[in-house]
């Protein structure tokens, strides 16, 4: 298992897609700051809001979907998967190693986005905004975001393994980022007043609606549970599928 993990890390480090996605994420954060600055609304936003701007839409889910699709599907496209799966390594271990490294890459990507947000905040708002309370809130906020995005990554890995084709995998990933978000909101309106919001349970909506401060214990626990549930479901389905399906 460790061998498989090390091999995945080796591939990740040499994967151009990772660096391009990180660069795009940082670029988007900087563009966002420039946009806010040019609109003159920088003062209206707290540093926490600025640092969290990157999660306010479906940009992060989209970029994760693209990266994960490339990272997973290239194994099938190149045929590298045949070398490992056909040589005695247990299938679930192969899947898990890939998933773990995809998760690691996603955390790096998210941290790059947050890092760029902080750097922008330091440039435009100055170092005085970095208070103790800010760091505490950022820690919880980033932790929750990472948890939710990690669960989402497990869904993308499952989708990529189902498709095993770049175009289909990327399209499915982007569809997963967009479509359930809209669907959940439509259903929320339909079930309005019944004390139940479906969007609360979908990772992308929960990530977008995550508060910047005033985190309650209940909210944090619920988020951990929802992320954990999605992660387990997607990984379990992925392992099951990968273990049973032929490799071409």
Partner 1 sequence: MEYVLQTERLTKRYGKVNVVEDVSMHVRKGSIYGFIGKNGAGKTTFMRMVSGLAMPTAGTMKLFGSEELEKERLRIGTLIEAPGALGGMSARENLEVLRRSFGIQEKERVEEMLSLTGLSDTGRKKVKNFSMGMKQRLGIAISLMRSPDLLILDEPMNGLDPAGIREVRELLLKLNHEKQITILISSHILDELSRIATDYGIIREGRLIEEFRASDLEKRCRRCLKLSVDDPGRAAAVLEQILSIQNYDTPEPGILRVFEGLEDTAGINKALVEGGVSLKESYLTGQSLEGYFVELVGEELTGK
| Two tokens, residue 239 | 């392992």
Which residue pairs from 80-87 have beta carbons closer than 8 angstroms and sit at least 24 positions apart in sequence? 81/247, 82/247, 84/4, 84/7, 85/247, 86/247
Q: Which of residues 226-245 bind partner 1 (CB under 8 A)?
A: 244
Instruction: Quote the least distance from Cβ 101 to partner 1, whole Å.
Output: 12
Residue 158 contacts residue 238 (beta carbons within 8 Å): yes
* CA-wise closest residue to 157 among 36, 242, 78: 242
Q: Quick check: 189 binds partner 1 (CB under 8 A)?
A: no
Contact with partner 1 (CB under 8 A) among 29, 32, 81, 114? 81
Q: Which is nearer to partner 1, 92 or 124 (CB)?
A: 92
Spatial separation of the C-alpha atoms in residues 173 and 216, rounded to whole Å: 31
| Residue recorded with tokens 């508060």 | 211
Q: Which is nearer to partner 1, 75 or 149 (CB)?
A: 75
Q: Quick check: 87 binds partner 1 (CB under 8 A)?
A: yes
Instruction: Quote the least distance from Cβ 162 to partner 1, whole Å.
Output: 17
Instruction: Quote the least distance from Cβ 92 to partner 1, whole Å.
Output: 11
What angle, 0 to 180 degrees and rounded to 10, lies between the N-to-C axes of helices 91-125 and 217-244? Answer: 140
Report how many residues bind partner 1 under the rule CB under 8 A.
28
The 10 Å Cβ neighbour count of residue 127 is 7
The DSSP symbol for 28 reads H
Q: Quick check: 15 binds partner 1 (CB under 8 A)?
A: yes
Instruction: Quote the least distance from Cβ 96 to partner 1, whole Å.
Output: 13
Q: Quick check: 89 binds partner 1 (CB under 8 A)?
A: yes
Q: Which is nearer to partner 1, 14 or 194 (CB)?
A: 14
- Interacting residues toward partner 1 by CB under 8 A: 2-4, 6-7, 10-11, 14-16, 74, 78-90, 244, 246-248
């Amino acid at each position: 298992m460790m061998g498989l993990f090390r091999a995945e890390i080796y591939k990740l480090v040499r994967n151009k897609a990772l660096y391009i996605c990180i660069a795009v994420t940082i670029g988007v954060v900087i563009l966002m700051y420039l946009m806010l600055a040019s609109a003159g609304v920088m003062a209206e936003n707290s540093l926490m809001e600025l640092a969290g701007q990157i999660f306010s839409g479906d940009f992060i889910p989209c970029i994760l979907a693209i990266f994960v699709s490339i990272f997973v599907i290239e194994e099938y496209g190149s045929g590298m998967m045949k070398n490992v799966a056909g040589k005695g390594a247990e299938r679930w271990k192969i899947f898990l190693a890939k998933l773990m490294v995809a998760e690691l890459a996603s955390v790096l990507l998210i941290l790059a986005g947050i890092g760029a947000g902080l750097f922008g905040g330091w440039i435009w708002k100055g170092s005085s905004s970095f208070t103790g309370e800010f760091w505490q809130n950022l820690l919880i906020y980033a932790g929750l975001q990472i948890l939710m995005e990690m669960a989402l990554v497990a869904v993308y890995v499952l989708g990529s393994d189902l498709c095993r084709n770049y175009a289909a995998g990327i399209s499915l990933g982007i569809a997963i980022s967009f479509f359930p978000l809209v669907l959940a909101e439509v259903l929320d309106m339909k079930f309005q007043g019944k004390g139940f919001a479906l969007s609360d349970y979908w990772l992308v909506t929960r990530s977008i609606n995550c508060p910047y401060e005033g985190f309650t214990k209940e909210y944090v626990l619920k988020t951990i549970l929802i992320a954990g549930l999605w992660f387990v479901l997607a990984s379990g389905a992925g392992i099951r599928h990968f273990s049973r399906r032929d490799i071409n």
